[in-house]
Structure formats: structure tokens, C-alpha cells
Chain A
């Protein structure tokens, strides 16, 4: 336990130790350090939670709440624990971890929405999935499941309809050679379970009406007649099937004429239970699932999860950090992914602005080249499942081969490094310039984007916005610089920042970031040559690595913002808690505020400029 990684950690955690001491002195009754082995931060008495949080924000400077999630310690003390990760946005540095506990049978905690408004959706999620009531939350409705759903599924004692065993690997699914499917063991032949005495006789579902509470429906239209112009109030539903919601996202909009009065994001239409499945999986089995969070950026998601688990493994005796070549390859993949994502985001923002598909075609054509490289290296275009704890799954191939797509296409047979060099020094810079030249000065784009959907910096911080959205509002916060990971500390790049916080700046900052990524990639090319032939995996590949007891929060600067994985291990084969801090999800917290006062047509543009992916929003 007294190995090198631990001493390194205490050196880094020093400012936090000071903060904890200050808080313990200030609130001797309410604040205690979390003394469990492998855990950190403070445990706060729920009665003083709001006071402590206010001091943490105002006096200690932790103004940015990155993540808030609940853990069910069933059989390990029998309580729910709400875990908050707060950061200093101006200085950077590590998190202050704040915890508050509540008994499982009457789970109630004070809401922190008055301190950090960005906690809004995350508290709703904790209510929905864990069943913790937050007193003082103005809109405590379910967010991922629907109203009327039976139970809170992330509780450890809640079992899904296809429940087999608590933990994988499950027993054989073909005992004695008899293959069976989960449906066959369910009386309904489907993935459903009802309360025992449930029938449809006399049953009324909660239904759609629950979604409209708090949206001022049924107002007398004469009330709205503003001077000069008589308008009606309308409730408009956008989605979940709508061409410009970037997936199955839904917004309920209350309009006064064409002007947005209120907008409520509705989600959960792609809630595929990553966290519940993730807690049944072994640690490594979660890797391919992270691909499917933000399915445009599978490589970046891999890195975030690998780092979270590596942090935990570093507490153990035999951990070896990833080799240098593995780190170089990881950054190569992640920065290529950033370009893929931003190309895609810009293409589809233009779709939303009415330039249907033509700009996107240009963007997708370049993206395909990067995907070819991913496919040659990882074996898959989209779902790369490439990174492993302590390294990557395989080295770059010698050659990139490609199959002909059309009769007159040539079979590609190129040296990988030549291909990469050409891609990074020629093709991608040209592609970015091309988009910039064609789009940035376009009158239509300027008129539709400038001054629309403005997000002031203090609001961006308060709402826990992350990534390009935060930086376009004049907050130069980038995890790669604020809390450097992998080899970013040695690389030369600037944190792109823009100051107006409107759609146009959120578009421009993606162009800036692609240029910075290309700058990083150019520095990686010689490193790839230098490290050729070195190990890509530290230690041995293990199917089920030993992960010691403890918690870790691994965060990376994903193309869409800060992606965090909060993992709690009890020393077993499976994560006890596996939570994803999804930038797409939390960036939507401010959507309602950003749309207020704009016209209905601007909603899609504002949403497009946030750049969400539903796999990550709903998880």
C-alpha cells in the first residue's frame, strides 16, 4: 500500500487536505473527513449540507459542481450516500468530494439547487433511479423513467425482469447444451414484470398529463394580448421523433406567439440502463459499453473509463501505469475523435440552420478517413472498444488496407504512418480550413447565430456546463489543462476560448479546437516513430483485474465536455457503483434558460450548438 502512486497522490491532494481542515474547524459538528480506506473528501451532516456547500462555493472557491450522484450502500452500512464533486474553475486542480448520507427507508436530503443550479437534473436522476427525495427542489419529477414506473431501479435490492444473478460472469446460459433465451423464462415473453396483483381492469396510467405540470397550460388567451399584438399561448412538443433533436430527445415548449416562454427538456427515450448493467458487469466488461455512451466518440469514452479504474487500481500493490507508447496512442485516438466529433457537430448544426445535409456531407467525408484508421487499428469503425486498463488492446497496424467500395475504387494499401502523416498534416487542416472558409463568413449563419442563445459565463459555471459550451462563454476551463492526465502536460496546445457565449461562438470554438487538436496530433507523429516497437500494455492483460476497495472519479475532456466516471469498488470483481457524469446530459440543464425569449426556430439551432448525443444524455 505504501507504494509510489500513493505518495504522489498525497502530494497532489494537499490543497484539498487544507480545505478539509478549514471546513472541520468551521463546522466541527457537521463535517467529518471520510476515513474509509480508499475514500476521500468530507461527510457532511444533511442538516448543514446547504450551509457547508455555500461556504465551499463562496469562501473556498469551489464554484463548479461537476458531478452529483447517489450510491446505495445496502449491506455495507445500509444508507444512501449522495456524492458531490466540486472544482475550482479559475485555479483548476483536484476536486473537493462532499458526501451526505441518508437512511434507506426514508431517503431525504436537502436540495443544493440554490447553491449549484447545475445539480438540477442530477438530483432528479437520483430521485428517479435511487429514490432520494430532495427537499426544496422545485421540479422533482422522474427524468429518465416515466411517472408511474414501479420502483427506483438503481437500488441494489431492485431487480429487473430479466434478472439472473447479481454479478457477472453469470452461470452458463446453455446448461447441458440447452440454449435458452431470457424471454422464455418470462410469462409474458417480454422484458416486463408487474406488481403481483396488477391487472388492466380499472387501471389508469399517469400518462402524458404529468409531463405538462408547471407549464402554465390552459391560460385564458386574452391574458396574453400584449400591446399592439394579440398572441396565443401554445404548447408545442418537439420530439422524441423530430429531425433536428439529434436523436430521441424531446422538448415541451410553451410559446407566446412564436416566442419561447418556457422550455422543458424531456429525456429518457434512450435510457438503456448503462449503470445497472455496469454494476452487474465485471470491470473490463464495461469497456465496450462505454463505447455506446457517446457513440460518436467511443475512443474518448474508453479513455475516461480506463483512467477511472486505473486510479483505483493504483491504490493496490501491483499496479503498473500505462506505458509511454500506450499513452501516445491514447492521445492520438482521443484527439482524432475530437476532430470526428466537431466535424459532425458542425455539419449537423448547419442542418439545424436549414443548410440541409450539404455541409454535413463535406464533414462526413473527412470523418470517414479517420474511421478507416480506427477500423484498421481497433477492428471497428464506430465502437472501437480499444483501451484497456494499463494500455491499449493492440498496436497500430503496419499497413492500412481497405476494401474497394465501388467497382473503380482502388484497394488501399498504405503504410499506416504515411497515411497518418498525410491525414494530420494535409487532409485534416485542409478540411478545417474548407469548413471555415465556406461557413464562418456566411451571412445566413452570422444572422442566425450571432447574439442568439447567449450563455453568460457566471451562468455557464453555475449550471455546470462543460466543454466547448463553457469555453465559448469565456471560461477557459479544460480538464486537459486544469487537471492534466495522460501526456497532456508535456504537449503544447492552447485552450480555445471565445467570449460572446452565443451560437456563433460555440460554432467558432469547435473550429478552434480542431486546429488545436491538429497541433497536438502533429506533435504526436514523431513520438509514435520514437516509441515504435515498445510495449502497448503495462503488465499482463487480465480479463478480471484486481481492483482494490475505494472510490475514484476519473474525468477527461471529451469533445462534448467533461466526461466523468465515478466508480466505487468493494474489492470484488464488479464495480459496486458505476456512474457516468455525462456532459450531454448536464449541458442540457441550461437549455431552457438559453431559449427563453427567442423564437421557436432558434430552439433547434441552440440545441444544435450545445451538441448532444442521446446515448450519453440518457445513458
Chain B
């Protein structure tokens, strides 16, 4: 931060263009990508959305000791329509993944997903449970994984900084959300006899056929013998 209280231009100014001493705190020469990403990464608004134990550490990160408003993130939004970042802070159950996919679909682009902790990343200690999803990436794309059970606030902040790097690496010319055509939402999972991913409808049908043909094969065998 410059002493005159102006914005931090250090991350913005392109060092290849030297500026006179007195102008460094007020003028920056930069590229469109850089100013676009610089402003985006410093105002990532997370969704006010907690799942389980990790949510407690997420709240601790938001509180005064760790204070993630230092990264322009303090405006946690309760509506997915206003949020940029979905922090999956805890175990995703089969019952809960349905609303989570719906929430993800409701978030406007550009949107990011951070899988916080072991459960969100891969099922964690509860992976073998009958109602537990083995990681949210089975249903929605994830940008940053933060290990830990639960991750400490420092680890979560490291995850945020990693996300900043990812945002910095994007270019306005190639990002998907400015391409023509509509981006399709993720199909909402169905709660049937077990959770059903509609994208696997064909696979489920093939498995049923396979089971039926195995049964047919198995059935005559004892008759012959």
C-alpha cells in the first residue's frame, strides 16, 4: 500500500514501462488482461454457505484474527446470484449434492469452486459411508483443492492465494464466459434408490443389461450340469 492511501498499484503496473518517481503511486501502464484479472482477484465474493466442520474454520478465517477481508472477500453473499466463489466446506452427502449442483448452476460466470478439506476433495474419513459423495468433483468442476481435516485458516488462505494465481493466468480473449452461445448447466442429480447422475443414464442401462445377460448365462449353466 502506498503512503498516500491510493490503490495498490504494485500488482498492476507492468515493470517494462518505467514511470517517473512522482507518478508511480497514481499511474500504471498495464495490459487489459492484467487490469481485468487484478480487479477480479481482489474482489472474489464467496457464497455464504457452510456444510460441516470445515465451515467452522471458514468462519474463523473470516473473523478478526485471520480476516480474509484483506483479500477483498469479506462480502460473503447469501445468494448464489451474487457470488463468485463456492467454497465446499465439508462433507458432501448424496442428499446435499442435489442443492449444491443447483446452487452452482445459479452462480453467474465467472465462477470458481474451492474444495475445502478432505471430504470435499475426495470423501475424507467418511468416504465409505452410504450417503457420502467421494468428492464434489464427481459432480461439479473444482478449481482449487485445500487438504486438511479440517484445513487450518492459514491453509484456506493459501487456497485463496492459489485461486488468485489461477485468476491471474486467465485471458479475456480465451475465457469461456465471453464465448458465444449459452453455457449448459450441470444436470441435477436425482434421488432414486441411490443418487443418480443423469449423465450416467446410459451407463446405468448398460449395467442393467449386463446384469440381465449374466443372469441368463448363469441360469442355464446348472441345468446343463
Contact = CB atoms under 8 A, between A and B. Distances in A.
Interface of A: 144-146, 148-150, 153, 160-164, 182-183, 187-201, 203, 205-207, 240-243, 247-248, 268-273, 276-277, 280, 288-289, 292, 295-296, 357, 360-361, 364-365, 368, 381-383, 405, 614-615, 618
A406 B122 CA distance: 32
B56 A295 contact: yes
B204 A191 contact: no
B18 interface: no
Given A190-B138, A270-B51, A240 B130 contact: no
Interface size class of B (residues with CB under 8 A): 35 or more
12 contacts: A149-B191, A150-B193, A160-B128, A160-B130, A161-B194, A183-B134, A187-B207, A190-B138, A295-B52, A296-B56, A361-B63, A368-B63
A269 B95 contact: yes
A272 B131 contact: yes
A198 B99 contact: no
A240 B103 CA distance: 11
Among B52, B196, B205: residue with most chain A CB under 10 A: B52
Among A187, A242, A248, A381: residue with most chain B CB under 10 A: A248
Interface string B31-57: 000000000000000001111110111
A358 to B, nearest CB: 10
B193 A381 contact: no
B52 A194 contact: no
A270 B125 CA distance: 14
B53 A295 contact: yes
By Cβ-Cβ distance, the 7 closest A-B pairs, closest first, are A273-B129, A150-B193, A295-B53, A160-B130, A364-B63, A272-B126, A269-B96
Interface in B140-196: 149-150, 152, 190-196
Interface string B199-219: 011011101100110010000
Contact of B55 (A149, A195, A247, A405): A247
Contacts of B123: 191
A198 B194 CA distance: 10
Nearest to A197: B208
A615 B126 contact: no
Given A188-B203, A197-B208, A295-B56, A160 B191 contact: no
Contact of A270 (B78, B90, B197, B212): B90
Given A206-B191, A618-B93, 11 more contacts: A188-B207, A191-B129, A195-B193, A196-B215, A203-B192, A241-B103, A271-B95, A272-B132, A273-B129, A357-B62, A365-B65
A305 B135 CA distance: 28
B53 A190 contact: no
A198 B191 contact: no
B133 interface: yes
B60 interface: yes
Contacts of B121: none
Contacts of B200: 188, 190
Nearest to A206: B191
A190 B197 contact: yes
A36 B64 CA distance: 56
A24 B200 CA distance: 59
B117 to A, nearest CB: 11
Contacts of B78: 242-243
Contact of A365 (B49, B64, B192): B64
A203 B204 CA distance: 12
A247 B60 CA distance: 15
A292 B53 contact: yes
B127 interface: yes
A241 B101 CA distance: 12
B56 A272 contact: no
B131 A199 contact: no
Nearest to B90: A270
B185 to A, nearest CB: 17
B204 A194 contact: yes
Nearest to B210: A187
Contacts of A296: 56
Contacts of B133: 190-191
A614 B129 contact: no
A73 to B, nearest CB: 21
Contact of A273 (B50, B131, B203): B131
Contacts of B119: 272
Contacts of A240: 96, 99
B28 interface: no
A357 B48 CA distance: 12
B221 to A, nearest CB: 18
B149 A145 contact: no
Contacts of A288: 125
B59 interface: yes
A170 to B, nearest CB: 10
B152 A381 contact: yes
B130 A273 contact: yes
Nearest to A381: B152
Interface string B75-104: 000100000000000110111100100010
Given A182-B128, A205-B190, A614 B52 contact: yes
Contact of A277 (B126, B149, B191): B126
Nearest to B190: A205
Contact of A276 (B129, B193, B211): B129
B95 A268 contact: yes
Nearest to A289: B125
Given A197-B208, A270-B96, A368-B65, A276 B201 contact: no
Contact of A187 (B49, B51, B203): B203
Contacts of B138: 189-190
Contacts of A144: 131
